[in-house]
Structure 1
Amino acid sequence: MREKNRWLIALSAVAIHLSIGSAYAYSVFQNPLSETLGWERSQVSLAFTIAIFFLGISAAAFGQFVEKNGPRKSALLAAVLFASGIIGSGLAVSLGSLTLFYVTYGVLGGMGLGLGYISPVSTLVKWFPDRRGLATGMAVFGFGAGALIAGPIAAQLIGILGIASTFYILGVTYFVLMVAGASYIAKPPVGWVPKGMEPGTVSGGKYDIKGTEDLAQLTAKEASKTKRFYLLWIMMFINISTGLMLISVASPMAQEKVGMTAIAAASMVGFMGLFNGGGRIGWSSASDYIGRSRIYPIFFAIQLVAFLILPNINNVIIFQILIFIVLTIYGGGFAVLPAFIGDLFGTKQLGAIHGLILTAWSMAGVMGPLLVAYIRDVTNSYDATFYIFAVFLVVAFATSLLMVKDINRIKAIKEKKLSEKVS
């Protein structure tokens, strides 16, 4: 059998992630749904919250399914679930049923999101042992950038054809794209490495574990019993909560804090998607050289400084620059994660472990937006939100340092055993 092109494998993953990443364009549907069907804004927003919750839950639940059945079958099932959810949403709109909308967009669509997100990632890590960060960055860039493409198209279709027809057209389109991606994606042959690379080596960063073995080769069950698994979960939970907090209130926050117009704030939100996607490529590529264990302390240090400055900012340009920087880190955290999991736990059951860690996403998807809304209502200001999340970022920074310490401890033990074996 002819060997597949690993760059086409990456392109297949991008096709899948571009489709499911369209979920970030959900805000385009909020006003039309409220105005056309009379649903409250909070009711419409709840559908997205349900989808993100089921994303995290299904990523964990389907992790073993991906490892057992491979990326192709998993991505095909994701296509069926996600497309059914989008097409079903059109039916719910036609019937005016909010409950059915929650089931289709929230539950079915959310399950498709979770399975579609993890299906190609572990396979990409195996195809790119020399550039793990870049490989996973390319895939999840599609997820971050999906809204940039889907948002304007959906808005145009809603204006011309209506909400229900838009859901039907998008659902069919996503199904075709995801099936096309799934049809090519496959695992590499056992023991495969690119030319010029020695078998059994990985790229963990110039100053980390590049050119050595992964820290361990663990199953998902074994990984979940380690200290570093929970350290990583905490780090991701706080990084995601911080990003989703900003995403959920970006427009009203910009208008209230620095006096941006609604149109200008909407433009800023669009650029946030661009920086979210760009950060996934940029930070993940950098992690191949800096080292994954060193990237996360950098993430939290930068965000901490930004959150301490933001309450005192009245300048529109500086405000946007700081928001965009945080969004690159939000996206970068997702992009670096699969490669970091490979460094820490190996690729034995990377998909399953990735799914378990992504339960942090479902929890953060509820906590981040709800907490900022509550603080805003109680204090009548967004400033307190920045200080409260700054405390969380201090915790995340300390956790990331504990992770570095734990990695160094394990490496020292491995080196000691190796030297004893040699002697």
Structure 2
Amino acid sequence: MSSLTISSAGSERQPGFLSKERSIAGPSFSRWLVPPAALCIHLCIGMAYGFSVFWLPLSKALGISSSLACAPDAGLLQALTTTSCDWKISELGWMYTLFFVFLGCSAAIWGGWLERAGPRKAGVVAAFCWCGGLVISAGGVYLHQLWLMWLGSGVIGGIGLGLGYISPVSTLIKWFPDRRGMATGMAIMGFGGGAMIGAPLADKLMTHYATPHSVGVWETFLTLAAIYFMFMMIGALSYRVPPQGWAPRGYTPAPAATGQTMITTHEVHLNQAHKTPQFWLIWAVLCLNVSAGIGVIGMASPMLQEVFGGRLLGLDLSFNELGDAQKTQIAAIAAGFTGLLSLFNIGGRFFWASLSDRLGRKTTYFTFFALGFALYAAAPWTGHHGSVALFVACFCIILSMYGGGFATVPAYLADMFGTQFVGAVHGRLLTAWATAGILGPVIVNYFREYQLAHGVAKAQAYDSTMYVLAALLLLGLLCNLLVRPVAARHYMSAQELAAVRAQASESPVVTTADSGAQASGASHLAAVLTWTLVLVPLAWGVWITVQKAAVLFR
């Protein structure tokens, strides 16, 4: 009997390398290794924001020096499969839409699986999807098949975006219960910075690979896929989850949620969270904040050019009165403006999320909406008075709060619903982002076209748009004010929570320890190397962006 027992025990299946059980941290692990692991993934998938750098070269993939136009009556099916004429930029742009549709859908659908499987497995799947999508897109460019690009980067890559985006959220919040906002701000800052690194890198690669017979895009896709796969695998395999009950030394859990603290000590199940008014109020808060910000991002460059026109060059001329050479000059200035906005978008993710640890999440969003409302309403005034500095300052602050909204919302959800399912709840909440991606641009484009069609000068065409976006923020302010602690009837019982943790293969409760205090020398060295790995390319991207933004002040 004894030998049979041993044999049976020996035949038990051991957890795989990518399993959640195998990623539980040991006593010498430093929690400061987790943020750079998250950045390794977010800096790669953040290139989704910079894909527009490929549109112009791809629109000349066959003609090389100029586009080979398709027949005027060519339909969508021909565009997807043609090998005899070049794609239109509008057709290529659908890939950008697919990115964020599938980001939101995959995060919502597989967020629950991520909580059970753990961040390591989710990160590896994200790496294969995102980088595999780039490889498929490279084949689409080489074979000149648009449907392969839509499938590769748009659909499969979009799934990688969603899993990669939410993979570190729950883990970071559990490692940093004392600094939830700062921790998620560091990771989500990387998503905003991905294009800042990837776009200039892609531009240099396309220049390097370009030949008389190729614009260099498919080669660039393959190169980026190899680079990104290496970084994302380093990040995914570096993820560790804390043992159940772990906390940093000296940390005191927040008291039970009140109207002031708004931080729960209980857990709400994923299947219960979306049944609460708090979920939908925060959904609306994120949607409205992002809708206004996306509206600004989409029109930043033309807005600056059309509002100020020749005043950007010291000339008292409207935009329509400028010559081609002068329009080229102000386009370069507008590009610098866009670069400056990207820096504030990235910096705001870390700044505001970190500040929310002190102010509280509800107060931070109140600041976003109240200050944002004032700045949106004041923007037309700064344009009419010709103050470029005030105009730029308004929109830099606005974009910092746009980025801050993304980075603060995971901590807001953890405060409301607990940390057990926060990654999955966050995944479902990202459907607000997909909605905002449609709502913001539609509002901006519709109102601008409406104004121009009714004879409004280009310099004043954005006024009504700013006021509408300000109204969106006012509505967001009201939704945020209505957020209250979750009712006790939605909390999980101790037995339900224990069953969920057992199913998720979480380790037993451990005693409190000071993360980093017991870390070994090897752990400290690994932290230095990992932080260097992500900070060097990030610093390079910042430097490139600062150089572009400097044109604005010449």
TM norm. shorter chain > 0.5: yes
Question: In the TM superposition, what is the alpha-carbon distance from 1:2 to its structure 2 partner?
Answer: 4.2
Distance 1:240 1:215 in 2: 29
Distance 1:326 1:40 in 2: 32
Distance 2:256 2:408 in 1: 11
Distance 2:279 2:90 in 1: 35
Asked whether 1:273 is paired with 2:326, we answer no
Instruction: Assess, with a 3 A threshold, how the Cα gap between structure 1 residues 92 and 370 changes in structure 2: closer, same or farther.
Output: farther
Q: Equivalent residue for 1:17? A: 42
Q: Equivalent residue for 1:52? A: 100
Contact 2:254 2:265 in 1 (8 A): no
Asked whether 1:312 is paired with 2:420, we answer no
Letter of the 1:214 partner, please give it: T
Letter of the 2:115 partner, please give it: E
Distance 1:84 1:320 in 2: 39
Deviations 1:71-98 (CA, angstroms, capped at 9, x unpaired): 0000100001011112222211112222
Q: Equivalent residue for 1:257? A: 307
Deviations 1:225-277 (CA, angstroms, capped at 9, x unpaired): 11110000000011111111111221112111122511111111112111111
Give the alignment partner of residue 248 of structure 1, picking from 281, 289, 298.
298
Q: Equivalent residue for 2:455? A: none
CA RMSD of aligned residues (A): 2.2
Question: In the TM superposition, what is the alpha-carbon distance from 1:208 to its structure 2 partner?
Answer: 4.3
Identify the range of structure 1 (44-53 vs 325-334) with the bigger mean alpha-carbon deviation: 44-53
Q: Equivalent residue for 2:540? A: none
Q: Equivalent residue for 2:16? A: none
Question: In the TM superposition, what is the alpha-carbon distance from 1:203 to its structure 2 partner?
Answer: 9.8
Question: In the TM superposition, what is the alpha-carbon distance from 1:27 to its structure 2 partner?
Answer: 2.1
Instruction: Give unmatched runs, 5+ long, in structure 1.
Output: 415-423
Q: Equivalent residue for 1:419? A: none
Identity of aligned residues (%): 43
Contact 1:131 1:203 in 2 (8 A): no
Please identify which structure carries the higher helix content. 1
Question: In the TM superposition, what is the alpha-carbon distance from 1:295 to its structure 2 partner?
Answer: 0.7
Q: Equivalent residue for 2:29? A: 4
Q: Equivalent residue for 1:150? A: 198
Q: Equivalent residue for 1:197? A: 251
Give the alignment partner of residue 187 of structure 1, picking from 231, 238, 241.
241
Letter of the 2:403 partner, please give it: G
Deviations 1:38-89 (CA, angstroms, capped at 9, x unpaired): 3222212221011111111111011011111000000100001011112222
Asked whether 1:108 is paired with 2:156, we answer yes
Distance 1:113 1:67 in 2: 17
Q: Equivalent residue for 1:417? A: none
Instruction: Assess, with a 3 A threshold, how the Cα gap between structure 1 residues 65 and 230 changes in structure 2: closer, same or farther.
Output: same
Question: In the TM superposition, what is the alpha-carbon distance from 1:155 to its structure 2 partner?
Answer: 1.0
Q: Equivalent residue for 1:214? A: 264
- The number of residues matched between the two structures is 406
Letter of the 2:54 partner, please give it: F
Identify the range of structure 1 (186-195 vs 302-311) with the bigger mean alpha-carbon deviation: 302-311
Give the alignment partner of residue 228 of structure 2, picking from 174, 184, 189.
174
Distance 1:204 1:266 in 2: 48
Q: How does 1:405-416 map to 2 (within 5 A)?
A: 406-407=484-485
Instruction: Assess, with a 3 A threshold, how the Cα gap between structure 1 residues 118 and 204 changes in structure 2: closer, same or farther.
Output: farther
Distance 1:172 1:233 in 2: 36
Letter of the 1:6 partner, please give it: R
Asked whether 1:122 is paired with 2:170, we answer yes
SS at match of 1:138: helix
TM-score under structure 2 length normalisation? 0.70
Q: How does 1:309-348 map to 2 (within 5 A)?
A: 309-314=378-383, 315-348=387-420
Give the alignment partner of residue 462 of structure 2, picking from 382, 402, 409.
382
Deviations 1:287-343 (CA, angstroms, capped at 9, x unpaired): 010011111111011111111111233222222111111110111011111111110
Question: In the TM superposition, what is the alpha-carbon distance from 1:382 to its structure 2 partner?
Answer: 2.3
Q: Equivalent residue for 1:418? A: none
Identify the range of structure 1 (371-380 vs 291-300) with the bigger mean alpha-carbon deviation: 371-380
Contact 1:303 1:326 in 2 (8 A): yes
Contact 2:182 2:353 in 1 (8 A): yes
SS at match of 1:104: helix
